[in-house]
Structure 1
Amino acid sequence: MKFIGIDLGWSSGPSGLCCLNWENNQLQLIECDRLLATNDILTWIDRQISPTEPAIIAVDAPTIIPNPTGMREADKLTHKHFGRYHAGCYPANLSRPFAQKTVEFGLSLEARGFVHAPTITAQELGRYQIEVYPHPATINLFQLERIIKYKKGKLAERQLELMKLYQYIIDILPTLKPSLNLANAANKNQRSSAFISGLKLPEIPTSTAALKALEDQLDALLCAYIGAHWWYWGIERNLVLGDRANGYIVIPQGK
């Protein structure tokens, strides 16, 4: 079973991509990358997953948007449950400039056999896609009192916050179930080793562009892990906000 994380660029800019594989009762990091064009992203997915191979694709973007204006119920519920942590999400509706791109991306995945899975039987093989949102996931997985604010602010502040996120990933995700094995990642794939160097911190990015590149890939890694957590535990240790008809977001609940 493979788990693909897509930190989708909603309107412009590259998307972060990550592939994990379930092997020997652990998640193994296969590859992380960053691509711009939607067709290139889909080609990357096709390269990672054969036409009949089971996998979950976890996308950080609203791929189901039925409402012409306003907010989806799923978006409202992130503010209800996670607003106090600063983890409410942006509203999604069909009038937003990103809507066509994100919805079409979900449809492209459906055409490849990846069905939406707001409900799932834990550890059942299949081809699924889900919408995820890393900020509330980090609150629950890492037991935080507020989100790690690595997306906005001065470069120096974002550097510190992003390194904090990285440290949480390498310290905590290997201790959870499913466990993420990063120990040999640097030796398996050159693209992965660009930001996962064994269990050591990478070189701190010194430019906004380099920081954004690292951010996108770490977000994609989180998305892939959320997909694995959903498959491993199902509803037992995950929260589903919304539904298939109106849009939904899967959020790990942690221990």
Structure 2
Amino acid sequence: MWRVYFAGVDLAWAGRNPTGVAVLDADGRLVHLCAVRDDAAVLAALSPYVRDECLVAFDAPLVVTNPTGNRPAEAALNRDFRRFEAGAHPANTGKPEFADGPRGGRLAAALGLDLDPRSPAGRRAIEVYPHAATVALFRLERTLKYKAKPGRTVDGLKSQLLLLMDGVEKLADAAVPLHVAGHDGWAGLRRQVVAAQRKSELRRAEDPVDAVVCAYVARYFQRCPAAVTIYGDFATGYIVTPSLPCS
């Protein structure tokens, strides 16, 4: 049976850290959610959902050509999102993780996905950035601080991650809906976050949550292309995100 899927991959830039994978069906219902570590596991998680029409959104660079500094995409996105504390990290081939090409680009190529965000192809991959996406989608004044950094407490991180999960669940009523509430994996994540006593426990939950945001951005891009901004270009690298509201 021919089906359409939207996948999100919160990809670790290097292979040592976990990667979140989420998949939505054509109606925006969460159908798969997991965290994996190596490339083979990422490909195995995605392969059942990319055989027919699909759009896979990676939270990781897919195209990196500049030897130093920021890509033009990052510089452009940062001009709009820095005031929300949602600037993107610089990617360049001088960094060890990009010396042999970006991991995301290699995975997309292994799946046979078209990387051009403006391509009419039925099987595509795009680069996205959850921090910028949530600022635009949820009209945040600044990014939610659920990433573990010095000075942040477990209770503070938990509160911020639960706010993100609340926002994701409220997208069930959005013009482009997302339905996660009925998925056992999502319910398990929420229980895990509520019960967490250590930062490491929250860290294990945030990757799948970010992957769901990525998958939603893929569906949003397909359904509302006029409401999305593509920073940069296919030649030098790009980032796709829901557009900020006009001020």
TM-score, with length taken from structure 2: 0.89
Match of 1:5 in 2: 8
SS in 2 for 1:115: coil
Residue equivalent to 2:232: 242
Match of 2:138 among 142, 145, 162: 142
Write the distance in 1 (CA, Å) between the matches of 2:101 and 2:197: 31
1:77 to partner: Cα distance = 1.2
- Closer, same or farther in 2 for the Cα pair 1:170/1:254, shift >3 Å? farther
How far apart are 1:34 and its partner, in Å? 0.2
For residue 62 of structure 2, give the secondary structure of its aligned residue in structure 1: coil
Give 5+ residue unaligned stretches, structure 2: none
Which position in structure 1 is the counterpart of 2:167? Answer: 168
Identity %: 30
TM-score (normalised: structure 1): 0.87
CA distance change for structure 1 residues 231 and 100 in 2, over 3 Å: closer, same or farther?
farther
Could you say which residue in structure 1 is the equivalent of 2:23?
Answer: 19
Report the Cα distance in structure 1 between the residues aligned to 2:209 and 2:101, rounded to whole angstroms: 20
**Match for residue 182 of structure 1?**
180
CA apart distance, 1:109: 1.5
Matched to 1:35, the amino acid is V
AA paired with 2:223? Y
Tell me which of 233, 237, 242 is aligned to 1:252. 242
| Structure 1 position 99, deviation (Å) | 1.4
Q: Which runs of 4+ in 1 moved over 4 A?
A: none
Q: CA deviation at 1:120?
A: 5.2
- Which amino acid counterpart does residue 222 of structure 1 have in structure 2? V
Name the SS for the 1:251 alignment partner.
strand
The secondary structure found in structure 2 opposite 1:18 is: strand
CA RMSD of aligned residues (A): 2.0
C-alpha distance in 2 between matches for 1:101 and 1:146 = 34
Q: Retained in 1: the 8 A contact 2:180–2:186?
A: no
Counterpart of 1:225 in 2: which secondary structure? helix
- Cα 1:107/1:83, change in 2 over 3 Å: same
| 2:122 aligns with one of 126, 133, 150 | 126
Equivalent residue pairs, number: 238
Q: Which runs of 5+ in 1 are unaligned?
A: none
For the pair 1:194 / 2:195, whether they are aligned, the reply is no
Q: Structure 1 residues 102 and 157 mapped into 2: Cα distance closer, same or farther (>3 Å)?
A: farther
Write the distance in 2 (CA, Å) between the matches of 1:102 and 1:163: 35
Q: Would the aligned equivalents of 2:161 and 2:206 in 1 still touch at CA under 8 Å?
A: yes
Matched residue type, 2:230:
V
Say which is worse superposed, 147-156 or 59-68, in terms of deviation: 147-156
Provide Cα deviations, 1:112-137, integer angstroms capped at 9, x if missing partner. Answer: 2210132256xxx7101000001111
SS in 1 for 2:189: coil
Question: Letter of the aligned partner of 1:17 in structure 2?
Answer: V
Which secondary structure state, in structure 2, belongs to the residue aligned with residue 129 of structure 1? strand
Q: Deviations over 1:3-39 (max 9, x none)?
A: 11000011221101101101xxx31110110000111
Counterpart for residue 33 of structure 1: 34
* Alpha-carbon shift at residue 101 of structure 1 (Å): 7.0
CA distance in 2, matches of 1:142, 1:62: 24
Question: For residue 211 of structure 2, what is the aligned residue in structure 1?
Answer: 220
Q: Distance in 1 between matches of 2:175 and 2:122?
A: 20
Whole-Å Cα distance in 2 between the matches of residues 254 and 82 of structure 1? 9
